[in-house]
Amino acid sequence: MDIKIKQLQDNWRVYQLINQNGMMVEVLNFGGIITKVLTPDKNGQVQNVVLGYQNHLDYQSDKNFFGALIGQVAGRIQDASFQLNGKTYTVDKNEGNNHLHGGKHGLHKVIWDVEPFHNQHSVGVHLTYIIHEKGQGYPGNVSLHVTYALTNENQLSLEYKATTDKPTVLALTNHSYFNLSGNIRETIHNHQVSINSSKILELDKSLIPTGSLLDVTNTTFDFRSSRPLTDGISGDHIQHKIVGDGYDHYFIFDQQKEESVTVKEPTSGRMMTIETNQPGMVMYTANNELSNFKYKDGSSSKYLGVCFETQGTPASLHHDNLPSIILNKDETYYQKTVFTFSADS
């Protein structure tokens, strides 16, 4: 295993994590962004399976959140406000009247302190950052520690830890767009996905959760048995139409299983499994054109990647029937998600 560091402009650096199988994960200190995940297909051909820019500078103006660490709260906060211990807090309105993915100056736009490491089990980077209370309107100063680690078993683990000096809210995730065909040879329509979930959060026309839980049985949201993403992209369920034909929904995991999600791409034979301690996940199928992203003929397109955003949901700030994302002073936030890559022989 090895780690390589490249100096970019100013204080930007890119870290390449390489295992003994030729798998490589590339991470920027800007935004904690995963820019590449190179992994073999069934024929041993190593290709990139996440969306990213050829020019690293394009991440400065990126509106797609490609590969980034998301926070302080991932997802949409209704009306960009919430109550905590009887006090109302107002945060940045960066999507209409709502707050999305930490706002205009969220974690995807900061320079993280990075310490690389290399041991007998893995190679990786520790990323640290302090969110100051006066920044985005959230209460408290929050100390963050995120670890990306790559093993020789082709596992990429993302481990998040945080503490705060006063009660606050916190829901972190990573926003990588996966396309297991490799180098975006195809859209994600035929990706076969299974999710250990019998309920999703209903969305209103502004993509804000209503608080109602919808049973997935006999719908195109039922991934308890594997099904292709095209079922929802071309489906006529009103919830697909609301998000622009596809998925952008929070799936609540059922009883904790070792694998919460599996994804297979039939042409390449690649498979990805996801294990997490989080209560649920937003699956987003890139239903809108990816702004500033050049693809093949130079134009952007829909459905080039699919995100699996394991996280708590900000809907819990307005609906009591959902797991809380409140972090208290004497608590430690801990989240771990592991992506394991393989391929049919």
Q: Which strand ranges, in their side-by-side order, compose the sheet holding 34-40?
A: 2-7, 13-18, 24-28, 34-40, 46-48
List 101, 108, 175, 240, catalytic entry: 175
Type of residue numbered 63: K
d(CA 4, CA 2): 7
Q: Which of 207, 31, 10 is nearest to 105 (CA)?
A: 31
Active site residue 26: no
The separation between the first and the last C-alpha atoms of the chain, rounded to the nearest angstrom, is 23
Active site residue 237: no
Backbone dihedral region of 134: left (phi > 0), alpha (psi from -120 to 50 degrees) or beta? alpha
Tokens at 262, concatenated: 């599996």
Vertex 129 angle, CA 123 and 135, to 5°: 155
Q: What is the DSSP secondary structure assignment for residue 112, as one 8-state letter?
A: P
Neighbouring CB atoms inside 10 A of 25's CB total: 24
List 26, 186, 202, 309, catalytic entry: 309
Tokens at 273, concatenated: 């499994």
Q: Catalytic amino acids?
A: 175, 309
